[in-house]
């Protein structure tokens, strides 16, 4: 599974990827979007890069960063600051070290094609805005009329410091790059795209039969093109599936090389059997299969791409992503055995009430045969692992400050290691209703300010949410519905990540919370301000709810 980081162009927002993301997810991949600060008159390349870094925080080294149009000026800045697998310039501009884009354009005006006459206007605050009817005919010329009209009215104001300033890019990042152009692009000259791909990236551009916005006009085609350009190439990794893992003996622990590692996918249907079903197997008389060898399976399993070379990534915590993958591998063998054992024993009993040890072994063969005929059982009582030792309040605050101030390379890993305590502290400090009565966070001179501070807190929330999400499937994590709901009101995608993780251990509760999230489609109050879940998030919630309900069925 590849994670695509999608960076929009001028005037646009994260909404512009709303047709592409489902196409990528339907093909077993994941996507992360960002809203660039194009409406901030003081935001240049550094601010754009920080926004993208905050959005991609937590993604592992398999991240492919895609920059559309003006977003092409941003993606090399991301690759300069964190590990990425590659870059894709989509009808994109390409920055030059030591030069501004305005300077580059003045020297090579063939970059852009002539547009409609008088297409934009300047608002009182100095931002440039597109006239919707002209945007429809230029940006979105090859889109269906309803899609073009909807997109045109969502275009934002744009300030131009990012193109006037000398690019903050110090050195071109040493990562592979691809170029995808729209053969019918009326904005960025396709002839220039072909030439720039050869001269600047040393690659031949890939062409799609589309205009400047293929993510809206030809989303399926663009998804296929992106995936073809960046195949996973990971030996031993298969796409997530709700089917039980086959050919795993019920009684004896499988040898490590026989385990098929099935990584969890963010939007895949969650239908894995809880660890509780493995208890009859653990009570089986076959003393040659103790629990310890099963737990050691991930260590000998084939490594996924990049696993051997993982180093602590700044804030994002590549080690955290590796830990998540290892946890998925650890679960593969016992859960497969659990699915088979459940078919053999319709009413699994707690360990202390288990039937004589010989009975599961007698039914082992029919259980293994029946595993192919029924989906894994979900949402059953479960034997839960103990939570890691709790961090002290002082340790939690120290980790939060290190993350906010960006004072250590492994700040993301350190914050994630605070687990539930870190999650509750971050939520407590970000929630206006609880922050007033909470112990104050110590201050440091290097604390960020303004938008940088807001971006850092958002990144901290995502980090602790992912950490708790990794604990939920295998541990009794006393995270409350109220805490998950508050996260969902502030960051819908972070809330969905918690609900998705919860679905692996408590499916009925996950469905209930997902249904509640759909109630946030209309206005609701967060502290003293109002916001709503946009259609972009609503679609994702509806898709997650369908997957959870299908798993329950």
* pLDDT tens over the chain, length 553 residues: 789 999 999 999 999 999 999 999 988 899 999 999 999 999 999 999 999 999 998 888 889 999 999 999 999 999 999 999 999 999 999 999 999 999 999 999 999 999 888 899 999 889 999 999 999 999 999 999 999 999 999 999 999 999 999 999 999 999 999 999 999 999 999 999 999 999 999 999 999 999 999 999 999 999 999 999 886 533 222 223 333 334 444 344 444 443 343 444 444 433 343 443 433 434 434 433 343 333 333 333 333 333 322 222 333 333 334 334 344 443 443 444 444 444 444 444 444 444 444 444 444 444 444 444 444 434 434 445 677 788 899 999 999 999 999 888 888 889 989 999 999 999 999 988 888 888 989 888 888 888 888 888 988 998 899 888 888 887 778 888 888 888 887 887 788 888 888 888 888 999 988 888 877 654 443 333 344 455 446 677 788 888 888 888 8
Tokens of 84: 């990425």
pLDDT at 110: 92
CB 496 within 8 A of CB 517: yes
CA angle 283, 288, 292 (to 5 degrees): 75
Tokens of 150: 């909807």
pLDDT at 520: 64
pLDDT at 385: 64
**Other CB atoms within 10 A of residue 366 CB:** 13
pLDDT at 359: 44
Tokens of 343: 């078919």
Helices 481-490 & 507-518 angle (0-180, nearest 10): 40
Helices 393-405 & 419-430 angle (0-180, nearest 10): 70
**Other CB atoms within 10 A of residue 195 CB:** 15
Tokens of 436: 């007033």
Whose tokens are 């790059």? That residue is 177
pLDDT at 226: 96
Cα–Cα distance between 489 and 345 in angstroms, integer?
42
Spell out the residues 6+ positions from residue 244 whose beta carbon is closer than 8 angstroms to its own.
273, 335, 336, 339, 340, 371, 372, 375, 376
Pairing between β-strand 63-68 and β-strand 3-7 as defined by DSSP bridges: parallel
pTM of the prediction? 0.49
pLDDT at 286: 40
CA-CA distances (angstroms) from residue 325 to 5, 239, 262, 302, 367?
A: 20, 13, 9, 12, 28
Query: 3-229 belongs to which CATH class?
Result: alpha beta
pLDDT at 446: 87
**3-state DSSP helix/strand/coil % of the chain, to nearest 5:** 50, 10, 45
Closest CA to 85 of 151, 190, 3, 23: 3
Parts of the chain belonging to CATH 3.40.50.1820: 3-229
């Amino acid at each position: 599974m590849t994670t695509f980081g999608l960076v929009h162009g001028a005037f646009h927002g994260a909404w512009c990827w709303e047709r592409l993301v489902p196409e990528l997810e339907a093909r077993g991949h994941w996507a992360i979007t960002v809203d660039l600060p194009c409406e901030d008159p003081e935001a240049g390349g550094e601010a754009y890069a920080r926004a993208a870094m905050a959005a991609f925080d937590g993604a592992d080294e398999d991240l492919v960063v895609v920059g559309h149009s003006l977003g092409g000026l941003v993606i090399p800045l991301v690759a300069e600051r964190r590990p990425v697998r590659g870059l894709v310039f989509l009808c994109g501009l390409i920055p030059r070290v030591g030069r501004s884009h305005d300077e580059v354009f003045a020297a090579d005006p063939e970059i852009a094609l002539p547009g409609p006459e008088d297409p934009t206007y300047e608002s009182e605050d100095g931002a440039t805005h597109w006239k919707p009817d002209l945007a429809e005919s230029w940006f979105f010329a090859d889109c269906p009329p309803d899609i073009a009209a909807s997109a045109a009215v969502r275009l934002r104001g744009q300030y131009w410091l990012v193109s006037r300033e000398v690019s903050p890019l110090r050195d071109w990042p040493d990562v592979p790059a691809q170029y995808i152009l729209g053969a019918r692009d009326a904005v960025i000259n396709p002839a220039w795209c072909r030439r720039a791909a050869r001269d600047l990236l040393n690659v031949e551009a890939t062409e799609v039969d589309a205009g400047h916005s293929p993510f809206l006009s030809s989303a399926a085609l663009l998804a296929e093109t992106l995936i073809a350009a960046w195949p996973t190439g990971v030996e031993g990794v298969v796409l997530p599936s709700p089917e039980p893992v086959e050919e795993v003996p019920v009684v004896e622990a499988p040898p490590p090389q026989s385990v098929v590692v099935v990584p969890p996918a963010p939007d895949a249907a969650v239908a894995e059997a809880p660890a509780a079903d493995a208890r009859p197997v653990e009570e089986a008389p076959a003393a040659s299969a103790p629990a310890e060898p099963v737990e050691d399976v991930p260590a000998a399993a084939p490594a996924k791409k990049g696993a051997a070379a993982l180093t602590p990534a700044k804030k994002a915590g590549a080690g955290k992503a590796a830990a998540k993958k290892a946890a998925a591998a650890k679960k593969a063998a016992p859960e497969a055995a659990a699915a088979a054992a459940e078919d053999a024993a319709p009413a699994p009993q707690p360990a202390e009430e288990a039937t004589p040890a010989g009975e599961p072994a007698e039914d082992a063969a029919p259980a293994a045969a029946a595993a192919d005929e029924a989906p894994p059982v979900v949402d059953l009582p479960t034997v839960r692992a103990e939570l890691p030792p709790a961090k002290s309040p002082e340790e939690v605050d120290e980790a939060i400050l290190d993350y906010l101030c960006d004072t250590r390379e492994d700040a993301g890993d350190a914050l994630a290691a605070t687990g539930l305590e870190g999650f509750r502290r971050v939520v407590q400090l970000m929630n206006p209703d609880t922050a007033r009565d909470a112990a104050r966070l110590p201050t440091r001179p290097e604390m960020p300010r303004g938008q940088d501070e807001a971006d850092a807190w958002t990144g901290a929330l995502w980090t602790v949410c992912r950490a708790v999400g990794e604990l939920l499937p295998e541990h009794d994590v006393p995270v409350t519905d109220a805490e998950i709901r508050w996260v969902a009101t502030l960051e819908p995608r972070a809330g969905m990540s918690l609900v998705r993780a919860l679905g692996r251990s408590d499916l009925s509760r996950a469905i209930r919370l997902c249904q509640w999230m759909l109630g946030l489609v209309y206005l609701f109050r967060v502290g003293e301000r109002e916001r709503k879940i946009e259609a972009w998030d609503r679609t994702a919630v509806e898709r997650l709810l369908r997957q959870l309900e299908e798993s329950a069925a």
